[in-house]
Structure 1
């Protein structure tokens, strides 16, 4: 803590929180003189004058001053033991941090307040300066000359600072709080008309007009009796304005939109918002379009109106709309007008308007609901100072507000199925159990649910459900001619707001068949480096068009996927198919090099080890299955059977039979009944392996046999099929057949090895060993 000194009140010396008593009067005077001129030279003559007042000055005054200073030095050292009082040319100087001496700190704080551009900051700085005063300056320092030379100046500086502070409090709407302080100030300084004017203003703005008029009568009588003069023009004008009702008043706006009925769910988010009691930390309610951000914010605002007795303001910032976003200066004008600022007092620039907004709001409890924000730059000028609360809704995460303004982010996602059913039930008056499928088709979006309910009305539910199932869900989820209420329009606005690079990526992501995707796939789709792609993905997350589910994994809502795919270029599909094909082939080469596979192109990607390949397959498993199912219907077919064949080892390891069967069925569909026999042979081998792993050996035998028949010119595949067939025969209790089949893989292995086809021979080896082990 170091040394602290005070002269704005009784003389004070404190080291590390412990007072140091300087009892000798001459030392107290010398110390006060040095502190009043801290870090400046004080001559011996000036010290002597202060210490002896020109009376009884000793003949050796210089030596006496030196003696008192020497004694002071022993008491005044810093934390390192260094002396604070130094000898200069014909005098002394006390060197210390300006903030360690209250009078120096007082002047420094006032200077900083004059430079402040924000009235709240200015008020705080002046308040801090005034708080340094502990009583009358130099109250117990026995030096008339010091008090004569310094105290009147300090007192005037204090009074002016006090008047400026009162003016700021009134400007900031804190008039009610300062009335007791103003009454004390007018009692202590009854001839300061500015203080009386401020007292009258504070009383009037607090709704106490009669007391304001009484205050005028009091100062009018006082000035006449004491000085024989009338009050000055500012006081007389304020008196007339109060009498005529033209004095400026404060406003209490009530601008919230109507509450949303019915409001369902969002208990976790409401709990977070309720926890803000008494806080002025900005809040960002963020989520995708149509998810119910505004409904949540408006509903919560209605429930806490009583916490904001000075008013509630609402502005639609039009961040995502058909026109341009609302400019900050226009939004500020709307807010200030709502607070009662007349046009002739409206500053021209956004910086000045922003400062005035904070000035008008400071000291009041006002709720600002800033709806549909585009970005941080639009919101920052609208934020109030301490005391009021801003709740911002946006499809953008507004991370800059979180980082720089400490905003609390409240994410809003799609409703869970049960909440969607409850919302639909409230809208349609039907039991939630009847509405399960409709809730699913609405994708958890409250906007979609409300549109669906508006479209259904009293009509039969089944017909609308059939239309949703069979038609374009985005087209069906629109409310008649009201384009602004359509889910598609909501998505259109978000899409149009994207920069072109993010728009390109978002459209291509609509081609991803599964629920999630990784950053490597995104990079492949746009053909850009991974670092650049991650930046684009991050911005899409900020716009709530995709979600982040892991460090390098993302998700896309199914309705958004439908929308994005409509904007995807045709070339993107080929890149998607190639990425998954080459990934599956590369993983198969690393993880299952012994398995026979269809001839395929050399993969353009590589995996460094088995762990990396296995991790890729685990992450992309669902998308691979979904892709094959999709391509079986739409084509092209070749990637389907090549990927299905490459995944045989993966499925043998992971044992996910339902997905394995789905992939093989998709491949058979893509290959067609009259397709390449080798392709069908490979697929039958995969299907036989699937049934063998499920112990359905009768079915396995059928498909191993088909593989043998179709793979007549493919010895590697025949060896693998014969080995599998032997295992199934053995499992079914047919050792003789197993014995015969046991020899076939072994012979095939020998022939393949002799022909330097060692990789293809490896799959026959475990088949042969399995058959021989069963016979032991």
Structure 2
């Protein structure tokens, strides 16, 4: 008997085409979870969490066993399909291809691997034809809601792939109606807009294509404050120019075609292809075969491993093959050198994940703090994408595992000196072992690099290849030196190399007795001029991956021209290579060799002076760049664009310098550089990187006993934790900073720390403690005669009063704050406080006056480009409009505020705005859409520990369920909301009437 299962719509099961009765909703949830994990065990705890979430009853396990028993009976007649108890949990033994979800993903994998547009499009349409509606229709748990959003994203990606295929096949006319409808539903999607523009143009509607571009440009400006991407702008230019290349091409073979802009970035991180690549034909053919679709129903290969000794050419082969097949990975290529065998500076897994997430379009503030959370976000971002991930120089399975995608549409290529058996045994990796170059290929590489001299002295050339252990790295170094010494015969060079091999304590690279390459390095090094040799040694001390000529000048004490000349000498000797943007890098073995030489030949004082010069250069450059981006009073104006480009290019080196300086004796540089870099990272840079850098400053300040610097760094770190939603960590960090400032007697800084600590306690729902910190901050500001600080503290105290239900006290404090702001001429703060008073007073005139002031503030902050302030003003304006009954305007403002909160990474404000939007939509009669907003708010509030927003979300979910005629579904949420508000000792469900916590 044949069984078929479905989750892409209502959860269903059919045996021989007849539907199976699956019982009530909770029981179907259990089956839905098992179907998603078909063939894999799911623990009891996982089942309970996914089926009930936090609403699990006390006897959830007993109910679960009952549901499993009934489901086991329901599918009992379906051949080999069973629900079995195994050591890892319960498993549904059905073939995954009998489940529509897994069949959909399999078809999409085959489609993205196909080289024929007609085949790919047909497979994609088959995959889309499996959808019957919303996944898990009629079922609702937090886990299922999250899965539903994920799967709908996969469906949308598949629809975009189908559109591209149909356009390449010239079927633009039949596609146009569907594209028009999709654009209306997704007005900000640039890839979709590009498809619609191209279809319109090919249908002879150039003016409509131009209008489509103008429409999305307006939407992006209004919603995101940004312009269309470069690809969409280029497509628009080609349409206006009536480029003949935009016409549909005949035939079926897949070609580059017209580049359509994507809604998400398409990373292209591969290093430059390798010059003079020789041999490895068998290994390349083996790698090519890995791309072929599996003949059976086995899942596609997702991991390949190139292993071999150091210097054998693993990275060169991986990069060469990656460039050969990049067309098979249209969604991009990711690359990271993990430096797994670098004892000083291996790349941390957390940093590698942060780099990948940034390349995938995740804004810095949205990158989660922990490795597990980052790995989960990384897998989610890769879902549905066809990408190649190259992990170079990995040393262990632990360094690799978090970087593995969770989708069969991606291929990971790993290079390692280790055989990594765990990758093969656990992750099904295909290993390709790389041996030394065959003698003929080794000589051929020398011929390519040296020229005809190899043919004149074939026996000597073979001896030179043998002396280089037939390692490509050593062969290239030897060949470059031979090419420079045209007056010497190859025999003389081989003899000289032999002398070095006798004299030197040879390096056994990677444990392979055949890989003794230090002699080859030494041979090349010994022929360097003394000044170039010194530069080579000092480059081994640099803490980063690549270096600019200006930094080399600072490291060596030379001027830029001389540094450039000496770098050219090292490039010609193949001891360093030129990277992107005119920067220079070194192979890991050569870096280790250079550092060893520096330790042996350069005095400790000279090494320290060199690094001090480098770190001074980085610190001065950072200060100048930040002054250009955010001018301080009295600072000379600079070029903001040049400053931004410099700091982005040097950012990895700046972060590495902070970490290295804190750990190896440059604490003052680490402190100063971290503080300067924080100004950039806090304004929109990667938060994960900012945390690492700022934590190094904390450690450096503690090591030298500089309590003032430690307090400043802790304050910065607390701010970063708060932005990430790590409220407990933020409270602990701010608390430590507060104690230090109090001991130091810095009253102004202590007041700021008290205010920040109060805001964290506000988010945690500890209003009494928040009020205590705000009162102490207010007293400090009074003693300092700081009117703005006093007004700010009064506003915060008024918000606590309002949250706790004392509107009279709240009104009195807010009016006092309003008077202070008016006296100070702070119109922005005056508008904000007016909006709070309007929301408390219920007076239409107050609401109208507040709306006018907020509109004025909105214009000011938009003119200044302050996105954070804009998000807060939009939220305040939405509340005023909602109180005035202008629900459409309120919803529009909240949607724009949400976009900004997400870009900034203010997760607490995002949860609050989601709940606000849910209330507005519910009031407007859109209960279904309102429910979706509250669901997102609940998930986010749980993640960051905001108990008040959790209670609000439950209250909203109860209201939408009741409005939809489902009081039973709303009852658990109503109880959780009641309990949450009671625990916080606040009035139940005040909604938009109670002002928001200030994040300003």
Alignment TM-score, normalising by the size of structure 1 = 0.39
Larger Rg, first or second structure (1 or 2): 1
Higher helix share: 2
